[in-house]
Amino acid sequence: MADTQPTLSDLAAKITELSETFTRHLRENDVQPPTFAANSPISYSKLTPEMFYIRQMLADALMDMWYLTQGPSESIFNYVHTCMPDAAALNIMNYFDFWSAVPLDGSASYADIAKHTSLPQDVVERVLAHATTLRLFSETEPGKSTSRIQHTSRSAALARSPGLKALVSTILDDAGPPMMVMNQALEKYSCGKPALTKDMSETSFALLHSGGAFGNFANSWDFIENDGEGEKKGWRQRNFVEFMRYLKEIFHLEKAVLDSYDWKAAGKITVVDLGGSGGHDDIALAQAFPDLTITVQDLPEVKPTFEATVPADLKSRVSFMEHDFFKPQPVQADIYMLKLILHDWPDHESVQILQALRPALKPGSRVLFIDYVGKQGETEGSPLPRSIQQMGTATDLRMMALFNAKERPVEAWRDIFRAADERFEIVRLEANPLTFFVVIEAVWRE
Ligand SMILES: C[S@@+](CC[C@H](N)C(=O)[O-])C[C@H]1O[C@@H](n2cnc3c(N)ncnc32)[C@H](O)[C@@H]1O
């Protein structure tokens, strides 16, 4: 097998070839490529699915080059040495908003940043010393004591994009700590058993947040909803709402929702969006389809963000209602939308959420289920680039840490509907492996 193994030179050639293809595409499509300068574009615009795929193959080749350049043991040593400090530095800078402490078109002294963040200057200097090695900020005069701090494109992206900042907070600050105790949770609750415990009181999250220094929260949603006191109460939920809005933007999910059903043909109908967050999908739906009347249901801390963002001219058609989706559904509607909801829960809870709809369902009522498919079934042809597979595998482990849930292949959703009630008839199931999304339309029959 040794002869099939790539050498450094093979990888270098592959990287050159893929880079050239990618760059040619950017040139031909008039896409301005990012640089490390603060005024750079913060992402590649207008990437076609084909170019996205090429870029991910390039990312795979670069990772292989990184591994092989160092060799097996040093690539692990170096990774272990830096991965937690990298994540910690990013989390600290995000939490204390270093991003806005430095002007986008100028520089700031360490003392300015310390004042802005209320952190000791020594801490600021040490965090930034590591951050600048990651091209997050840079020194105006590298290595000199007179140096000030300026943005790079990577730190500027966080200053410019509230959504990216919210994503870092949710993924690192909300979900990061439980992931570091997954081994302990597995040892305590699942080791020696044939399957992972599905009990939500036996998650890594629960191990960390069941009393003690990290608070007492029933699950990750309870934490996101209730962590913080006084003005800080609800800060994680406000952040999460922004994170969801951002996901919609970067994955172009607005179109997925608008195309998920023939809303125009449906005419004057009522819709309930369960766990609809700040109503970003519902505002887009109501704007596109003037006959729709939509109730957004979510936890109480979401309400202020919803009220602040819903346009005045939509208030009569898009309203917010506090509702726990485990409780019996109080609103009779034509369509119940569940987008990115069941994905966060183990099977038992997913079934309960669907069953809680039953009191409101009448023959012909519909459930429109839209979710992320992080686990592909068996694939034909060559496997997806590893950097694409990681999008699903990483989410899968996060789901395990937070909820003892898992990424499911498309077909698993049929079983969830069936287990919830045989009166749900699935009349449509559309899965797109390139967008990673599945749409299921189920009709209630009696
Ligand atoms: C992953 S987000 C999906 C948001 C939105 N549907 C979207 O696709 O952007 C899950 C949502 O479920 C909400 N949620 C969690 N537990 C809930 C509960 N018991 N009752 C109602 N909403 C809940 C969260 O607050 C969050 O807004």
pLDDT at 144: 92
The residue whose CB lies within 8 Å of the most ligand 1 atoms, and thus the one to mutate among 299, 342, 436, is 299
Burial-class residue 141 by CB neighbours within 10 Å (0-12, 13-18, 19+). exposed
Q: Which amino acid is residue 435, in one-letter code? A: T
- The residue whose CA is least distant from atom 14 of ligand 1 is 275
Q: What is the pLDDT along the chain (446 residues), one digit of tens a residue?
A: 446 899 999 999 999 999 999 999 999 999 999 999 999 999 998 888 899 999 999 999 999 999 999 999 999 999 999 999 999 999 999 999 999 999 999 999 999 999 999 999 999 999 999 999 999 999 999 989 899 999 999 999 999 999 999 999 999 999 999 999 999 999 999 999 999 999 999 999 999 999 989 999 999 999 999 999 999 999 999 999 999 999 999 888 888 899 999 999 999 999 999 999 999 999 999 999 999 999 999 999 999 999 999 999 999 999 999 999 999 999 999 999 999 999 899 999 999 999 999 999 999 999 999 998 877 666 667 888 999 999 989 999 999 999 999 888 889 999 999 999 999 999 999 987 667 789 999 999 98
- The residue whose CA is least distant from atom 3 of ligand 1 is 340
Q: Which amino acid is residue 185, in one-letter code? A: A
pLDDT at 152: 98
CA of 274 to the centre of ligand 1 (A): 7
Atom of ligand 1 nearest to the CA of 338: 6
Query: Residue-wise over 260-289: b if at least 16 C-beta within 10 A, else e?
Result: bbebeeeeebebbbbbbbbbbbbbbbbeeb
CA of 221 to the centre of ligand 1 (A): 8
Other CB atoms within 10 Å distance of the CB of residue 356: 18
pLDDT at 421: 98
Distance separating alpha carbons of residues 79 and 85, to the nearest angstrom: 10
Distance separating alpha carbons of residues 151 and 128, to the nearest angstrom: 11
Distance separating alpha carbons of residues 180 and 203, to the nearest angstrom: 12
Distance separating alpha carbons of residues 151 and 132, to the nearest angstrom: 10
Q: What are the residue ranges spanned by the domains of the chain?
A: 2-70, 73-160, 176-238, 251-373+408-444
pLDDT at 1: 45
Topology annotation, domain 73-160: Arc Repressor Mutant, subunit A (1.10.10)
Candidates 153, 147, 145; CA nearest to 41 is 153
Tokens of 60: 């795979």
pLDDT at 381: 73
In angstroms, the first-to-last Cα distance of the chain is 60
| Ligand 1 contact via 277 beta carbon (within 6 Å) | yes
CATH number of 251-373+408-444: 3.40.50.150
| Ligand 1 contact via 253 beta carbon (within 6 Å) | no
| Ligand 1 contact via 221 beta carbon (within 6 Å) | yes
CA of 166 to the centre of ligand 1 (A): 16
The residue whose CB lies within 8 Å of the most ligand 1 atoms, and thus the one to mutate among 255, 277, 344, 349, is 277
pLDDT at 212: 87
Distance separating alpha carbons of residues 377 and 408, to the nearest angstrom: 9
Strand bridging mode 437-444 / 424-432: antiparallel
Strand, helix or coil at 426? strand
pLDDT at 336: 98
pLDDT at 251: 84
Q: Which amino acid is residue 313, in one-letter code? A: D
Tokens of 224: 């996101």
Q: To which residue do tokens 């913060």 refer?
A: 42
Helix or strand run (H / E) with residue 355: helix 347-355
CA of 42 to the centre of ligand 1 (A): 28
Atom of ligand 1 nearest to the CA of 280: 9
CA of 303 to the centre of ligand 1 (A): 12
pLDDT at 376: 66
Query: Residue-wise over 5-14: b if at least 16 C-beta within 10 A, else e?
Result: eeeeeebeeb
| Ligand 1 contact via 276 beta carbon (within 6 Å) | yes
Tokens of 399: 């789901």
The answer to whether 423 and 445 are in contact (CB under 8 A) is yes
